[in-house]
Structure 1
Amino acid sequence: AVNKAGLRVEAFGFESLAAAEATLDSDEREMGSVCISFGAHLTHVVVYSSGTPIFSRDFPFGAHHITKDIAIGLRTTQTEAERIKKDFAHAYFNSQDAHETFVVQTAEHLGGTRQFTRGQLMHIVEPRVREILGFIHNELKKLKVTQFISKGVVLTGGGSLMPGMCWIAEDIFGVSARVGYPLNLTGVTEGLRSPLCTSSIGLLSPLFASEEDSGRQSWQLPEGGLWGWARSFWEKFKEPTEII
């Protein structure tokens, strides 16, 4: 499809590394950290030490598995379960919010609505989150990689936005954890400063003008922001040419 459009692919980007490069600061890459990027169906894991990626693997589970658990546990559709996950889910049990209630549209063949508490939802979500992060930790431990992540865990991707994810990561890995947002972006709309966009920002970074800033690349869009960049990008490729 790319060739038919009159373009030629110059190189391919590795999504796992792209997310890590977009979110890890220079200290984290140098002193040792792990970037865990939660996609819908895959979780990408990269470990950095001494400024270099020393481990990378994609695991066949992601945030959608949590959605499915909610759909089954609350007997609703996956669409409704996704809404519930975004609006009410918390990754670990919090007694302070446990009695707060919410209404769920039940599956079509059941009809009607049902009321649940956030405590009931937490009992569905937390075991799956612990299973995912625990499995990753055990795999890194088997390969003797955990010794290189003293600087901490960086969670990114859509799944990282669920409250409580960092708390569970710290409990399992025994180091500090934070949510990873794209770093050193200028001229970009706030909508792109999100864990949802880290992989895309990392993959697009070669197209941005770069400059060194304390050993870290800084990405800047031209005047007009993202849409201005997109228009100028398209103008360049009205005739057959190359892309990176």
Structure 2
Amino acid sequence: MARDSIICGIDVGSNTIRTVIAHRRKGSEQLALVGVGESLSEGFRRGVVVDNEEAMRAIRESVRAAEQASGYSVRSAYVSVSGPHVSSRYSKGIVSVSRADEEISSDDVARVIAQAQSISMPPNKEILHVLPKEFIVDGEGGIHDPVGMHGKRLETNTVIVECSAPVLKNLAKCMEPLNIDIEGFVAAPVAAAQAVLSKRQKELGVLLLDIGGGTSGVAAFEDGSMTHAAVLPIGSAHITNDIAIGLQIDIDLAEMIKVRYGVCKPETINKKEMIALAPEGSEAAADNVSRKEVAEIIEARMDELFDLFDKEVKKVTRQALFPAGVVIVGGGAQMGGVVDFAKARMKLPAHIGVPERIDGVVDQLASPQYATSVGLCLFGFEIQEKNEGGGTFLPSGIGEHSGKAMRKWLKMFLP
């Protein structure tokens, strides 16, 4: 019987930390999710650690809940990285083919990617990913896999996703007391795209918008490869704050109103429709507020978010050509009218994205806010496949499988 591969993804979000444990039997394309855990992101602000002790306890709570649900003990995990410090840039690598018969080998590919990675970096920046857009063999571009081809010179155009080095170190420090090895840090937009975007969408050209609590991730794909990634400093929590300030109400009540009555397009709401405000701990009669007024508050903040989104999209060379449209994920994707709002603002098709290729607790995880956590598991399994499979941890009491081979490969791309 083929042994299952087991892996864990920890999504450190602005509002919630989500841990997902999954397995996939060898030869199967389906990912079976066996455990999920959640906790509030205490000790974090916009994906960045602001209190080590609180952050460590929040991660531990999420991981323990997933362990209890699955029966597996987490010894290693892939961890998401988010925040406005995440950005991307382009880089190019050029090497001569090493073999005498001029056949390109995997070693040549590794060398050209490493050469593209050899760029001048500020001391406070760290490379998260080196993602090849294309390979070029003797001037012929648009190649995705040059291994086995013949040529004298191999080039690559890459997207380098980078982040703040201190942020990574602080996040790693929070994991140390938990005795969980970090197999790799993964930019949140990269992980989310892994879960919700199909190969065809990436080939056609597609935009991903991950609306989180304190931040929103952006990723662009063309011709099957990522061409841009960034994290914007606005999320759905800003909408909650705006409602609380605009209506002069408690923040928890503002969150309830946003979730229950919030819509992005005020023109769809009747002016006479009212929302009853019930002040906490008060016996006084509840005030009423126009639902249209709430929608106008939401629309103003969504306009700001999509202004920033549009600026990021314009950094991509072919910003007008995304036939597959905009795929929206994250907790903010559940806002009423967000799809129509995106269509109107971006002049593109739009829809809500949910994790694909999953089995198990599907009812719970087939939701846009789980895109990043599920994507982390898919990302890890893809790396396992490139290293002939093998789990990074096993059910409690069965022993431990070494992840050294995987970590060695990861060092090429995740220093």
| TM-score, length-scaled by structure 2 | 0.49
Structure 1 residues 52 and 128, CA, compared in 2 at 3 Å: closer, same or farther?
Answer: same
Give the helix-richer structure, 1 or 2. 1
Give the conservation status (yes or no) of the 8 Å contact 1:93–1:123.
Answer: yes
Per the alignment, residue 396 of structure 2 pairs with 235
- 2:185 corresponds to 1:32: no
- What CA distance in whole angstroms lies between the structure 2 residues aligned with 1:90 and 1:159? 11
- What CA distance in whole angstroms lies between the structure 2 residues aligned with 1:152 and 1:172? 12
Per the alignment, residue 226 of structure 1 pairs with none
Structure 1 residues 3 and 146, CA, compared in 2 at 3 Å: closer, same or farther?
Answer: same
String of CA shifts for 1:103-150, please: whole Å, max 9, x gaps. Answer: 1234889x7631112111111111211221122113322554523423
* Counterpart among 191, 205, 216 of residue 43 in structure 1: 216
* Counterpart among 109, 113, 136 of residue 286 in structure 2: 113
Per the alignment, residue 16 of structure 1 pairs with 189
> What is the SS of the residue equivalent to 2:266?
coil
- What CA distance in whole angstroms lies between the structure 1 residues aligned with 2:175 and 2:292? 49
- 2:264 corresponds to 1:91: yes
* Counterpart among 309, 312, 328 of residue 155 in structure 1: 328
- 2:295 corresponds to 1:134: no
Considering only aligned residues, what root-mean-square deviation do their CA atoms show, in Å? 2.9
- Cα drift, residue 74 of structure 1: 1.0
Give the conservation status (yes or no) of the 8 Å contact 1:33–1:153.
Answer: yes
Unaligned runs of 5+ in 1: 213-231
- What CA distance in whole angstroms lies between the structure 2 residues aligned with 1:143 and 1:87? 36
Unaligned runs of 5+ in 2: 1-173, 386-392, 407-415
- What CA distance in whole angstroms lies between the structure 2 residues aligned with 1:206 and 1:82? 32
Give the conservation status (yes or no) of the 8 Å contact 1:9–1:242.
Answer: no
Per the alignment, residue 219 of structure 1 pairs with none
Structure 1 residues 30 and 239, CA, compared in 2 at 3 Å: closer, same or farther?
Answer: closer
- What CA distance in whole angstroms lies between the structure 1 residues aligned with 2:293 and 2:280? 18
- What CA distance in whole angstroms lies between the structure 2 residues aligned with 1:32 and 1:209? 22
The runs of at least 4 aligned residues of structure 1 exceeding 3 Å deviation read 1-7, 94-98, 105-109, 142-145, 206-210, 236-244
In the alignment, residue 328 of structure 2 is paired with which amino acid?
A: L
> What is the SS of the residue equivalent to 1:150?
coil
- What CA distance in whole angstroms lies between the structure 2 residues aligned with 1:142 and 1:206? 26
> What is the SS of the residue equivalent to 1:30?
helix
- 2:239 corresponds to 1:78: no
Which of 1 and 2 has higher RCO (CA within 8 Å, sep 6+)?
1
- What CA distance in whole angstroms lies between the structure 1 residues aligned with 2:375 and 2:398? 22
> What is the SS of the residue equivalent to 2:272?
coil
Task: Give aligned-pair identity as a percent.
Answer: 26
- 2:276 corresponds to 1:103: yes
73-82 or 2-11, which moves further after superposition?
2-11
Structure 1 residues 123 and 7, CA, compared in 2 at 3 Å: closer, same or farther?
Answer: closer
- What CA distance in whole angstroms lies between the structure 1 residues aligned with 2:401 and 2:256? 43
String of CA shifts for 1:177-208, please: whole Å, max 9, x gaps. Answer: 00111112122330111111111110122566
Give the strand-richer structure, 1 or 2. 2
| TM-score, length-scaled by structure 1 | 0.80
- 2:340 corresponds to 1:179: no
Give matches, 1:221-232, under 5 Å: none
In the alignment, residue 200 of structure 1 is paired with which amino acid?
A: S
Which of the two has higher C-alpha Rg?
Answer: 2
